[in-house]
A and B are shown apart, each in its own frame.
Chain A
Amino acid sequence: MELVRYLVFRGPFNSPNNAKIVKIRGVFLGGRHFEDSMSDPLRIVVAKPGLDGHDRGAKVVARTLRDAGHEVIYTGLRRTAQQIVETVRDEDARFLGLSSLSGAHNHLFPKVCELLVKEGLDDVVVFGGGIIPFEDRDLLFSCGMKAIFGPGTPTAEILDFIVKACEISDAGVGQNGEWHWDSSA
């Protein structure tokens, strides 16, 4: 039996007429059906900063976001913070997902956040994932990141985060908003 659930999806610009009823099929992977929604897809950059060469996680997340109806720009491996920020700028992305499994997240993620603000991209919502211990996360939230997803996070949770972040007006990396997502893993 197919599980079908409904949720209200708010479009990228948070305007009330962008609110659409979206049907999500399946347990984990969402499908934003074409005929159901006329709102513009979100543009999301998924990036791998630093020297870490493992991108299975980033690809799974990219795929999940794609299947939920978003436009995902994948940067490929071993990008510098500057390259990632320029990609976000040129692609006019509203979300940036950073993945790191190398342990260098405490250096790389804040660097990306800092450069985003410096470039005036303070309204971009930044989230991260990978091998990131819970005790490191408060530092990353204080840099303006809005969620950190560890191994074992259900992909549906990432989609819920995206929907929630769209509803919050000051979720951007440089907007000093209070809110962040508490992930289950």
Chain B
Amino acid sequence: MRGEVLDLEIVSDAIKGDRRAIARVLSSLENRSLLLDQIKMEFPSIFSQPGQESWSSIAITGAPGVGKSCLIDKVLIEWASKGIKTALLAIDPSSPRTGGALLGDRVRITAIDNEEYKDLIYIRSIATRKSSGSAPVIVSDMVEFLSAIGWQRVIIETVGSGQSEVRCAAITDRIVVVEGPARGDGVQAEKAGLLELADAVIVNKSDISGASQHASEIRESFELGLGQTPPIILTSAVSGDGIKEASSILLKLEDTGRSKRAKWRERLLAEYERKILESDKLEEILENLAIGSMSIEDALKVLGDD
């Protein structure tokens, strides 16, 4: 059964900073063979240290190919040069057919090859596994653990597309949306979606024409709406333009307080989905649904009784 074995020694090694132990604990959290609540029960002190920063996790999200990985690579270097310990959880999709995944984000992240900074950077590739919705919630346990053991910032690089990225973004303290030039006309910026949740917008590939115009369109769109306009930053991960500025803005990013309700809505949905996926009755319910001996309404009722 889940969550029965708690290997205290590995957890305490991880707290001391042993990288292999950290990796093992994250795997156990991911496999649900260890629950965050168990760690909290055994090591309450690490979760309530005075002087801990008010926020730690930041989601970097955006469409596929806008340059999230390359941008994160540069930000990792900038933060490491300031002595900030940063963990990166890079999420890639699992195949819905076979459950396998090819996790290729490390190919583009070269920051960790830097001898001087490698102790300040931890990179972990994560597959979305069974459901796109459950991954984010387990990631939130990983984030909480990493923050508790002294990683000052945890970056979550989301999958390039789909509803899951909103979900995943919603579990973090701050959300950064990466955009690129040639992403449609001004109307695209007006459309509702992920941008509404952004605490900062980065328009990457500023070396390509149209980027600054796209940034203005996004700014206009925000200014038409209610609330504070988040920082909108032009960068080029290729030439390095704007990277320094973006890194220091992201490090001290304020919560714009925009769409608090929308964020909580996503969190609630993610938690509810997790509740369903972790239910002991799930297998039985799916079996019954598949052979037609149970209706969706009955299934919801059974799940709701948990």
Binding site for B on A (CB under 8 A): 31-35, 37, 40-41, 43, 62-63, 65-76, 83, 86-87, 89-92, 119-121
Contacts and interface: CB of A to CB of B under 8 A. Distances in A.
A72 B102 contact: yes
Contacts of A68: 98, 100
Interface of A is mostly: mixed
A32 B99 contact: yes
Contacts, number: 90
Nearest to A77: B107
Contacts of A66: 95, 98, 100-102
Nearest to B101: A71
Contacts of B23: 89-92
Given A33-B98, A34-B96, A41-B94, 16 more contacts: A33-B99, A34-B97, A41-B100, A41-B129, A43-B27, A70-B100, A71-B100, A72-B101, A72-B103, A74-B107, A83-B112, A89-B19, A89-B20, A91-B125, A92-B20, A92-B23
A34 B19 contact: no
Interface of B: 19-20, 22-24, 26-27, 31, 94-104, 106-108, 112-113, 118, 122-125, 127, 129-130, 286
Contacts of A69: 98-100
Nearest to A72: B102
Interface SS, B side: mixed
Nearest to B287: A35
B99 A34 contact: yes
Nearest to A87: B106
Nearest to B110: A76
Contact of B100 (A65, A91, A92): A65
A67 B123 contact: no
A73 B106 contact: yes
Contacts of A119: 20
A120 B118 CA distance: 19
B95 to A, nearest CB: 7
B102 A75 contact: no
B100 A76 contact: no
Nearest to A17: B1
Nearest to A65: B100
